[in-house]
Structure 1
Amino acid sequence: MKTTPKQDQRIATMTFASVYPHYVTKVEKKGRTKEELHEVIEWLTCFGSKKLGELINQKVTFETFFKEANLNSNAHLIKGVICGYRIEEIETPLTKQVRYLDKLVDELAKGRKMEKILRQ
């Protein structure tokens, strides 16, 4: 499945701050913690909790969020289907990066072991 330019633009202009509370709710509803969520986000982006808080307060777009991120060298190991798209087949780099994050949050919420989520 290919993403459309309209979908890619919508993702790029969406703020991380608008999605973050949904990530927190999703993982906490399934018995995981906000700290575990931050660990997953830090693994992917190298953003510590302080930097993450700053980005949320600044209401940065996903485009800015991932421009500032230092993506983990093992991020390419994140595979599978999320939101109806096979991550490996997404061609737009930003959309792929956002789906990496979505997939990690989904795995955390589903109770997957942290070492598996972090591709260790």
Structure 2
Amino acid sequence: MVADRIRRMTFASIYPMYVQKVERKDRSTADLDRVLTWLTGYDGPGLARAVADEVDLETFFAEAPAMNPDAVLITGVICGVRVEEITDLLMQRIRWMDKLVDEVARGKKMSSILRGSTAA
């Protein structure tokens, strides 16, 4: 099943792809890290540790220090699926992350990406 394969993917395997995606669109890794921090509560060293430890996505989200309560405001389509309609919480979180990275890469304003929040 695709969902099982995605759950087992390591954060270390997708983070470099996220970096490439945002840098290709002239955005910075700092912007990427800011949205990941906003979503998960990880800080910079925490993200680096998740990469170094090669944690899978299930563990990455299970150990997230503080999922942002405003993440429920993330809506739209990613991979042909409306993120707000995903019933599997882990898959929804993964797609939220994908959606935020897409928004960074598209050059959306950071205040909009962070759903009006000014916090990291």
> The TM-score by the shorter chain falls in which range?
over 0.9
Query: How big is the shift at 1:79?
Result: 0.3
Match runs of 1:86-97 below 5 Å: 86-97=82-93
Counterpart residue identity of residue 9, structure 1: D
The 8 Å contact of residues 80 and 87 in structure 1, kept in 2 or not, is answered as: yes
Q: How large is the Cα RMSD of the aligned pairs?
A: 0.6
**Cα separation, 1, equivalents of 2:60 and 2:49:** 11
Query: How big is the shift at 1:43?
Result: 0.1
Counterpart residue identity of residue 24, structure 2: K
User: Under a length normalisation based on structure 1, what TM-score does the superposition of the two structures give?
Assistant: 0.94
Counterpart residue identity of residue 59, structure 2: T
Alignment length (residue pairs): 115
The 8 Å contact of residues 8 and 92 in structure 1, kept in 2 or not, is answered as: no
Query: How big is the shift at 1:54?
Result: 0.5
Query: How big is the shift at 1:91?
Result: 1.0
Q: Secondary structure at the match of 1:94?
A: helix
**Cα separation, 2, equivalents of 1:98 and 1:105:** 11
Identity %: 50
User: Under a length normalisation based on structure 2, what TM-score does the superposition of the two structures give?
Assistant: 0.94
Unpaired stretches in structure 1, ≥5 consecutive residues: 1-5
In the TM superposition, structure 1's runs of 4+ consecutive aligned residues that sit over 2 Å from their partners are none
Q: Deviations over 1:48-90 (max 9, x none)?
A: 1101101100000000000011210100000000011110111
